Amino acid sequence: MSTPTDPWWKEAVFYQVYIRSFADSDGDGLGDLPGLTSRLPYLRDLGVDAVWITPFYPSPQHDAGYDVSDYVDVDPRFGSLADADTLLATAHDLGLKVVVDLVPNHTSSEHAWFQAALAAPPGSPERARYLFRTGKGRGGATPPNNWQSVFGGPAWTRLTDGEWYLHLFDTTQPDLDWRNPEVPAMFEDVLRFWLDRGVDGFRVDVAHGLFKVKTLRDQRDLDKPPPADEQRAKQQHEAAGSLVPQHLGDEPMWDQPEVHDVYRSWHRILAEYDGDRMGVAEAWTQTPESMARYVRPDELQQAFNFTWLQAPWSASAFAEVITSSLAAVAPVGAVPTWVLSNHDVIRHPTRYGGGQVGVARGRAATLAMLALPGSSYLYQGEELGLEEVDVPPEFRQDPAWFRTGKPGRDGCRVPLPWRGSRAPYGFGPAGTTPWLPQPDDWAPLTVAAQKKDPGSTLEFYRTALRARRRLVGLAEPVELVTDRVTVLEFRRGPLTVVCNCGPRPVRLPAGEVVVASGPLDDRGLLPPDTAVWLT
Ligand code: GLC
Ligand code: MG
């Protein structure tokens, strides 16, 4: 059993609130903090333990808030600092923890620091907080190195005075120079500001960024086809719809050793506060071992484990993900984390084939995931079985769409349907035009509609989360049973989990079914695309 002395986050189920798309209290088409506060009872009833809220800080919103212009305030479109305080107090009264997003790799180009850098001359202390360099070639007209932005195109933009600045994401997201002591000092203040207000933790955006190789040397062999294992890694990224860095093999811009001192210092700050405050790293590193370095005992508490999200619908792939994920964190003594969807990837029912089959598979994968040791992260709307939306090009807002012409990430960010038969489906007051259009056929998927239907995805999530509270949190290790190729099966002490990834119904081992992701067939067999827990 997990013991009362275990930190709250160890086995917690986190629910990711994509603030723009959760609930809009004032009808401006964007979700906001008061909207979220009013719906916290829904999250308590769903049965999650904690909420992670995506950035709500002042921002020109060129990357949906991941371009922060002031780290210690609230964007008026999302509310006020007083609204943030009310949200925290209400969540805590309901027994929910609150984790906020921290974006330390880059600021917005509208941040006071970058504005000062633009106004100051080359070589000034103002420019030294970012990565300004002179270009190469005749008149310095070629970028300082060959790095590409994650959103497509060169990672450098030139100013009229001739200097270039680095942005691994959009041009409006200049990268900070973490070797400049003013930068870590500023973020320590930001951490304390939100910890003092009562947040329970931070989700650290691009946690593997921050430091770049000091020389800012070229990425090697960009013109050569990448080796086979790298191709495979790239295909996995692409299958999940995630943004692919140009060349995974040689990464002078990611995962530099110096970054770990930052997390050691943040660990010490978190530890000064009561209540087991925590940090979870978004670190897209190359290997499970390099990911585990972010969760050594004196660094962050958790790191997202994106391996399941990159795996196809396959029992053997899932088994391999479970084995390698547990093995990765074991040497450092950290707890694993699990996630199937977030605001950067194609929703998992769509990845698993879409339609009824995709939703059934999504439920089955979720049920299997929820039985594993450690913490699970859910993304808003997955409890409604929402699929990726094909947002018409004229409505798309993802900077990756503008820079690459690929559909981008708007399809998983469409505002939630709460009730009613047409848009805005209760997302905002009647007459609200949501910032991304909602599909016409979402009436059966609203929270209100699904609450009335015991077979709905929402009721399945509630049942599964209730059962998890009862049955999981066991110290028992995972024992994989690998005698059937198309069936994922594992035991944890008295609990047996079976997920049928094959095309035919299969027999269940002995035991009583306590939760099922869908109905069994009339012979008591487990149909394809279905999972159960047995005791
Ligand atoms: C992270 C965020 C993503 C954002 C990027 C740049 O990957 O999850 O949404 O675009 O960082 O901040
Ligand atoms: Mg609003």
Q: Name which of 226-230, 252-256, 286-290, 368-372 the model is least confident about.
A: 226-230
Paired strand residues for 496: 491, 534
Phi, psi of 73 (to 5 degrees): -155, 175
Cα 234 to middle of ligand 2, angstroms = 37
Q: How confident is the model at residue 222 (pLDDT cuts 50, 70, 90)?
A: confident
Q: pLDDT category, 475, cuts 50, 70, 90?
A: confident
CB atoms within 10 A of CB 502: 16
Q: Out of 263-267, 389-393, 401-405, which region has the weakest mean confidence (pLDDT)?
A: 401-405
CA distance 159 to 127: 12
Residues 67-94: pLDDT tens digits?
999 999 999 999 999 999 999 999 999 9
Cα-to-centroid distance, 30 and ligand 1 (Å): 19
Mutate to test the pocket of ligand 1, among 63, 170, 254, 402 (most ligand atoms within 8 A of CB): 63
Which pLDDT value is given to residue 4? 66
In angstroms, the Cα distances linking 272 to 80, 132, 218, 252, 278 are: 27, 35, 41, 34, 11
Q: For residues 311 and 296, what is the distance between their CA atoms, to the nearest angstrom?
A: 25
pLDDT at 376 over 50: yes
* Model pLDDT, residue 244: 52
Which pTM does this prediction carry? 0.96
Q: What are phi and psi of 285, to 5 degrees?
A: -100, 175
Beta carbon of 11 within 6 Å of any ligand 1 atom: no
152 or 228, higher pLDDT: 152
Q: 235: how many CB neighbours lie within 10 A of its CB?
A: 12
Q: How many CA atoms lie within 13 A of 168 on its CB side?
A: 26
Q: How far is the CA of 33 from the centre of ligand 2 (A)?
A: 8
Measured CA to CA, the distance from residue 176 to residue 105 in angstroms comes to 6
Q: Write down the pLDDT at residue 248.
A: 66
3-class secondary structure per residue, 362-405: HHHHHHHHHCCCCEEEEECCHHHCCCCCCCCHHHCCCHHHHHHC
Query: Which residues are identified as catalytic?
Result: 205, 272
Per-residue confidence at 247, pLDDT binned at 50, 70, 90? low
Three-class SS state of 50: strand
| Beta carbon of 270 within 6 Å of any ligand 1 atom | no
| Percent of residues, the chain, with pLDDT higher than 70 | 96
Is the minimum distance from the CB of 304 to ligand 1 under 6 angstroms? Answer: no
Q: Please tell me the distance from the alpha carbon of residue 234 to that of residue 258, in angstroms, as a whole number.
A: 26
Say yes or no: CB of residue 205 within 6 Å of ligand 1. Answer: yes
The 10s digit of each residue's pLDDT in 484-520 is 999 999 999 999 999 999 999 999 999 999 999 999 9
pLDDT in tens, 16-40: 999 999 999 999 999 999 999 999 9
Query: What pLDDT score was predicted for residue 5?
Result: 81
pLDDT band, very low/low/confident/very high, at 471 (cuts 50, 70, 90): confident
Concatenating the DSSP letter of every residue in 321-357 gives: HHHHHHHHHGGGTPPPEEES--TTS--HHHHTTSHHH
Ligand 1 neighbour 169 (Cβ under 6 A): yes
Closest ligand to 339 CA?
1
CB of 175 sitting under 6 A from ligand 1: no
Q: Could you give the CA distance from residue 328 to residue 305 in angstroms, rounded to a whole number? A: 10
Question: Ligand 2 mean position to 26 CA, how many Å?
Answer: 5
pLDDT for residue 118 = 98
In short, whether 67's Cβ falls inside 6 Å of ligand 1 is no
Closest CA to 465 of 423, 410, 517, 427: 517
- Predicted pLDDT of residue 1: 42
User: Average per-residue pLDDT in the chain?
Assistant: 95
Residue nearest to atom 12 of ligand 1 (CA): 66
| Nearest ligand for residue 415 CA | 2
302-303 and 278-281 strand pairing: parallel
Listed in sequence order, the residues at least 6 apart from 350 whose beta carbon sits closer than 8 Å to its beta carbon are: 358, 387, 388
Residue 3 has pLDDT above 70, yes or no: no
Model confidence pLDDT, tens digit, residues 249-286: 799 999 999 999 999 999 999 999 999 999 999 998 88
Q: Tell whether the model's pLDDT for residue 474 goes beyond 70.
A: no
- Residue 245's pLDDT is 52
| CA of residue 170 to ligand 2 center, whole Å | 25
Torsion, Cα of 280, 285, 287, 293 (10° steps): -50
Read off the tokens for 221.
């062999």
User: Who wins on pLDDT, 30 or 225?
Assistant: 30
Position in ligand 1 atom list of the atom nearest CA 105: 12
Average pLDDT over residues 352-365: 98
Residue 285: predicted pLDDT: 87
